[in-house]
Structure 1
Amino acid sequence: MSDNAKTVKVRLVKSLAGTQQRHRLSVKALGLNKLNDVRELPDNPSVRGLINQVYYLVRVEQ
C-alpha cells in the first residue's frame, strides 16, 4: 500500500468459540486467525462493515 493510503489496524481480542458462523467468517475475511493477531487493512466501507459486524471480538488500533 502507498504511504498516503488510509489504513486501519485490527486486533482479534476475543475467542471465536461460541460465536455465530457468520461472525467467524467475517473475522476470517479480515485475515485474523488467532487471538492477538493484528492486520493492517485499507480503511474502506467494506472493511468497516466487517469490523462493525464483529465489534465485540476485535479492537481497532490507530
Structure 2
Amino acid sequence: MTADTKRIKVTLVRSLSGRIKAHQACARGLGLRRMHHTVEVIDTPENRGMVNKIHYLLRVEEA
C-alpha cells in the first residue's frame, strides 16, 4: 500500500441488532465493531460493495 492509496472513513451510525446476518457480516468485514466506531478502509470495489450493501447503517467520508 502506497501513501497515495485512496481511503474512505466509515462510521457505524445505526445498530446491528436485529439486522440480516449478511449485513452484520459486511459491517464486521469492514472492521466495524460497535456504534459510532470509525475505521479507515482502502477504497476498493470489494469494500465499496460492502459499503453499498449496508449504506443505511453507515456514514461514509473521503479520507
When the two structures are superposed, what TM-score results if normalisation uses the length of structure 1?
0.93
Output the CA distance in 2 between the equivalents of 1:53 and 1:38: 17
**1:6-33 CA distance string (max 9 Å, x none):** 0010000000111101100110000000
Higher helix share: 2
SS at match of 1:56: helix
- Matched with 2:30 is 30
When the two structures are superposed, what TM-score results if normalisation uses the length of structure 2?
0.92
**1:30-62 CA distance string (max 9 Å, x none):** 000011111110001000000000000111012
Aligned residues: 62
SS at match of 1:41: strand
- Unpaired runs of 5+ residues, structure 1, are none
Identity %: 39
1:39 is the counterpart of 2:44: no
For residues 1-62 of structure 1, the aligned pairs below 5 Å read: 1-62=1-62
Structure 1 runs of 4+ off > 6 angstroms?
none
- Unpaired runs of 5+ residues, structure 2, are none
